[in-house]
Structure 1
Amino acid sequence: MTNEKFIAGDFAALVAEMTDEEKVSLLAGHHMWKTQEIDRLGIPHIVMTDGTYGVRYSIPQIDGDEAGGVDFAAFLSVVNQRADHVQTAWGQMKPATCFPNGTSLACSWDVDLAHQLGEALARECQEFGVHLLLGPGINIRRTPLGGRSYEYYSEDPVLTGDFAAGVIKGLQENGVGASLKHLACNNSEIERTTMDSVVEERALREIYLKGFERAIRQSEPWTVMSSYNRLNGVQAAQNAWLLTKVLRDEWGYGGLVVSDWHGVKDRPASLIAGNDLDMPESETRKADLLAAIEADNVDRALVDRACERVLDLVSKAKRGEDRTMTFDRAEHHALARRLAAESMVLLKNDVGLLPISKASVRRIAIVGEGAAAPVIQGSGCATTIPTSKDVPVEEIRKLAGSEIKIDVFQATSEIASEREALIIEAEQGVAGADIVLVFVNTENGYDGEGSDRRSLGLAPGHDALVERLACANSNIVAVISSPDAVVMPWIGDVPAVIEMFFSGQATGGAVADLLFGRVNPSGKLTTTFPKRMEDMPTHLTYPGENGRHVYSEGIFAGYRWYDARGIEPLFPFGFGLSYTEFAYSNLALDRTILRSGEKVAVSFAVTNIGKVAGKEICQVYARYGQPRLKRPVRELKGFAKLELNPGESRVVTLQIAAEDLCVYDTALQAWTLDNDGITIEVASSSRDIHLKAELHTVSDAVHRRIEWDTQPVFVLENPVARSKFNRFLQKQLDISSEDAERMLEHCANSFVGIFTTFDRRFRHTFPKADVEALLAEINQESVRQERRAA
Structure 2
Amino acid sequence: MKYKDLINKMTLEEKASLMSGKDFWQTQDIERLGINNIFLADGPHGIRKQAEAADHLGLNASLPATCFPTAATVANSWNVELGEKIGKYLGEEAVAQKVNVLLGPGINMKRDPLCGRNFEYFSEDPYHAGKMAAGYIKGIQSHGISACVKHFAVNNQEERRMSIDTIVDERALREIYLTGFEIAVKEGKTKTVMSSYNMLNGTYTNENIHLMQEILRNEWEYDGVVVTDWGGSNDRVAGLIAGNELEMPTTAGETNLEIIQAIKNGEISEEVLDVCVDRLLDLIFSTEEVFSKPYKKDFDLEDHHRVAQEVAEESIVLLKNEGNILPLKTGVKVATIGEFAKEARYQGAGSSIVNPTKLDNTLDCLEETGFVNIGFEAGFERYGKKNQKKIDHACALAKKADVVLLYIGLDEATEAEGLDRQSMKIPENQIDLLNAVYEVNQNIIVILSSGAAVEMPWINKVKGLIHGYLSGQAGAKAILRVLTGEVNPSGKLAETYPIRYEDTPAYHQFPGKEVSVEYREGIFIGYRYYDTANVNVLFPFGYGLSYTSFEYSNMEVDKDGVSFQITNTGDMAGNEVAQLYVGCESTDIFRPSKELKGFVKVALNAGETKRVTISFDDKTFRYFNVKTNNWEIEEAEYKLMIGASSADIKLDDTLFVEGTGAPLPYEKDQLSSYYSGKVNTVDQDEFERLLERKVPVATWDRSQPLGYNDTIAQCEYAKGVFARFAYKVIVFAYWFLRKIGKRSTANIIMMSIYHMPFRGVARMTGGVINMPMLDGILMMVNGHFFKGLSHLLKERSKMMKFTKSQQITLDKATKEM
Q: Could you state the TM-score of these two structures normalised by the residue count of structure 2? A: 0.79
1:68–1:145 distance in 2 versus 1, CA, 3 Å: closer
Q: Map 1:308-707 onto structure 2 (within 5 A).
A: 308-321=278-291, 323-325=294-296, 326-358=298-330, 361=332, 363-400=333-370, 404-414=372-382, 419-591=387-559, 600-703=560-663
- Say yes or no: does 1:50 pair with 2:42: yes
**Within-5 A mapping of 1:222-301:** 222-283=191-252, 284-301=254-271
In 2: Cα distance, 1:340 partner to 1:135 partner: 19
Alpha-carbon distance, 1:532 to partner: 0.5
Aligned residue type for 1:187: N
Distance 1:705 1:447, change over 3 A: closer
- SS of 1:58's equivalent in the other structure is coil
Largest Rg, 1 or 2:
1
* Contact 1:414 1:460 survives alignment (8 Å): no
Q: CA deviation at 1:467?
A: 2.2
With over 3 angstroms needed to count, the CA separation of the structure-2 counterparts of 1:445 and 1:680, relative to structure 1, is: same
Structure 2 residues not aligned, in runs of 5+: 670-817
Give the direction of change, closer, same or farther, for the CA distance of 1:415–1:576 in structure 2 (3 Å limit): closer
- Find the residue that maps to 1:664 and give its secondary structure: strand
Residue 110 of structure 1 is matched in structure 2 by 79
Tell me how large the CA RMSD over aligned residues is: 1.8
Amino acid at match of 1:445: A
Task: Give the CA deviation at 1:235.
Answer: 0.6
Q: For residues 243 and 124 of structure 1, what CA distance do their matches in structure 2 show?
A: 31
Task: Give the C-alpha shift of residue 349 in structure 1.
Answer: 0.3
Please give the per-residue CA displacement for 1:306-334, whole angstroms capped at 9, x wherever unaligned.
00001000111012336522310011011
Aligned mates of 1:407, 1:92 — CA distance in 2: 33
Aligned counterparts of 1:705 and 1:470: Cα–Cα separation in 2: 55
How far apart are 1:173 and its partner, in Å?
Answer: 1.2
Q: Deviations over 1:49-72 (max 9, x none)?
A: 1110000011015xxxxx769xxx
Match in the other structure for 2:118: 149
Match in the other structure for 2:6: 14
**Equivalent position of 1:164 in the other structure:** 133
Letter in 2 for 1:395: C
Q: Which whole-Å deviations, capped at 9, do the CAs of 1:169-218 have from their partners, x for residues lacking one?
A: 00111212110111001111010100111111111100000000012110
Q: CA deviation at 1:704?
A: 6.0
1:443–1:460 CA contact under 8 A, matched in 2: no
CA contact (8 A) 2:38 2:99 kept: yes
Shift of 1:667: 1.0
Give the direction of change, closer, same or farther, for the CA distance of 1:416–1:127 in structure 2 (3 Å limit).
closer
Aligned-partner residue type, residue 619 of structure 1: Q
SS at match of 2:566: strand
Counterpart CA distance in 1 for 2:55 and 2:531 is 47
The 5-angstrom pairing of residues 212-223 of structure 1 reads 212-223=181-192
Normalization by structure 1: what TM-score? 0.82
2: distance between equivalents of 1:580 and 1:569? 24
Asked whether 1:173 is paired with 2:142, we answer: yes
Alpha-carbon offset, residue 285 of structure 1: 2.0
Show the counterpart of 2:90: 121
* Consecutive unaligned residues in structure 1, runs of 5 or more: 1-8, 62-66, 70-87, 592-599, 712-790
| AA in 1 matched with 2:237 | P
C-alpha displacement at 1:471, in angstroms? 2.2
Q: Which amino acid aligns with 1:483?
A: G
Identify the range of structure 1 (121-130 vs 697-706) with the bigger mean alpha-carbon deviation.
697-706
Identify the match of residue 30 of structure 1 among 22, 30, 52: 22
- CA distance in 2: counterparts of 1:417 and 1:460, whole angstroms: 9
SS at match of 1:364: strand
* Higher mean C-alpha displacement, 568-577 vs 390-399: 390-399
- Alpha-carbon contact 1:668-1:704 (below 8 Å) kept: no
Q: Note the alpha carbon deviations across 1:198-243, whole angstroms, 9 max, x for none.
A: 1111111000000000121102101111000111111111111101
Q: Classify the secondary structure of the residue corresponding to 2:620.
A: helix
- Amino acid across the alignment from 1:530: P
| Counterpart code for 1:387 | T
| Gap change, CA 1:417 and 1:272, over 3 Å in 2 | closer
Secondary structure of the 2:68 match is: coil
Partner of 1:83: none
Relative to structure 1, the CA distance from residue 296 to residue 90 in structure 2 (aligned partners, 3 Å threshold; closer, same or farther) is: farther
Counterparts in 2 of 1:448 and 1:690: CA distance versus 1, 3 Å? same
Residue in 2 aligned with 1:199? 168
Residue 447 of structure 1: SS of its match in structure 2? coil
Alpha-carbon distance change, 432 to 627 in structure 1, aligned in 2, over 3 angstroms: same
1:395-419 CA distances to partner (integer Å, 9 max, x unpaired)?
123213xx62421111010476652
CA deviation map 1:699-726 (0-9, x unaligned): 11223699xx9x9xxxxxxxxxxxxxxx
Counterparts of 1:691 and 1:389 in 2: how far apart (Å)?
A: 43
Other-structure match for 2:718: none
CA distance in 2, matches of 1:220, 1:205: 19
Instruction: Report the number of matched residues.
Output: 665
